C-alpha cells in the first residue's frame, strides 16, 4: 500500500503505516504492531485506536488481549470523502480515491438473468 497516498488522505505517518500493516497482515495485536512499526506499545494502542475512531479498523478481544483488523477498504474512501469535504481546495485531487477494484464492483453490481434461447419456429 502506498504510504504517500495514505498520508495525502489526511492520515499521519504512523496511522498510514499502521493501516498498511493491518491490510498486509489482516489482524494485528498491539505488541506486534509496535514491533513492526518501531514504536512503543503505548503508541501502538493510540494509533490503532485512532484508526478505529476514524472507521478504518475494528477492535476485538482474543482472550485477554486486543486484536485490530482493517475494515473494508471502502471505508477509506468514505474517510477521504469526509476529509476532503472539510478541506475542499487543498485535497481536491483525492476525490474518488481509492478507486474500487473490479472484484468489489462485480460483487455490488446486479446480475442480469440468463438469456433463454427461443425455440425453433417460435416468433
In the chain, how many domains are there?
A: 1
Domain, as residue range, for 41? 3-102
Question: Is 114 inside any structural domain?
Answer: no
Question: Is 122 inside any structural domain?
Answer: no
Question: Is 90 inside any structural domain?
Answer: yes
Question: Is 119 inside any structural domain?
Answer: no
Question: Is 121 inside any structural domain?
Answer: no
Task: Write the CATH number for 81.
Answer: 1.10.10.10
Q: What share of the chain is helix, strand, coil (3-state, %, to 5)?
A: 50, 10, 35
Residues whose CB falls within 8 Å of the CB of residue 96, separated by 6 or more in sequence, listed in order: 77
What whole-number distance in Å separates Cα of residue 20 and Cα of residue 1? 6
Cell digits for 39?
514504536
Question: Is 84 inside any structural domain?
Answer: yes
Residues whose CB falls within 8 Å of the CB of residue 11, separated by 6 or more in sequence, listed in order: 19, 54
Closest to 16 measured CA to CA, from 89, 96, 92, 98:
98
77 touches 94 (CB < 8 A): no
Question: Is 116 inside any structural domain?
Answer: no
Question: Is 69 inside any structural domain?
Answer: yes
The predicted model scores a pTM of 0.63
Would you give per-residue pLDDT tens digits along the chain (123 residues)? 678 888 888 889 999 999 999 989 989 999 999 999 999 999 999 999 999 998 889 999 878 889 999 887 776 777 766 665 655 544 444 545 555 444 444 444 455 555 555 556 655
Amino acid at each position: 500500500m502506498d504510504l504517500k497516498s495514505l498520508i495525502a488522505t489526511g492520515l499521519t505517518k504512523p496511522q498510514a503505516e499502521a493501516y498498511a500493516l493491518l491490510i498486509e497482515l489482516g489482524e494485528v495485536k498491539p505488541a506486534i504492531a509496535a514491533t513492526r512499526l518501531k514504536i512503543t506499545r503505548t503508541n501502538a494502542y493510540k494509533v490503532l485506536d485512532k484508526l478505529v475512531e476514524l472507521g478504518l479498523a475494528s477492535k476485538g478481544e482474543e482472550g485477554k488481549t486486543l486484536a485490530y483488523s482493517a475494515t473494508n477498504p471502502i471505508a477509506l474512501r468514505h474517510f477521504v470523502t469526509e476529509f476532503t469535504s472539510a478541506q475542499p481546495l487543498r485535497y481536491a485531487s483525492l476525490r474518488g480515491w481509492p478507486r474500487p477494484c473490479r472484484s468489489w464492483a462485480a460483487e455490488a453490481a446486479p446480475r442480469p438473468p440468463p438469456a433463454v434461447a427461443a425455440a425453433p419456429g417460435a416468433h
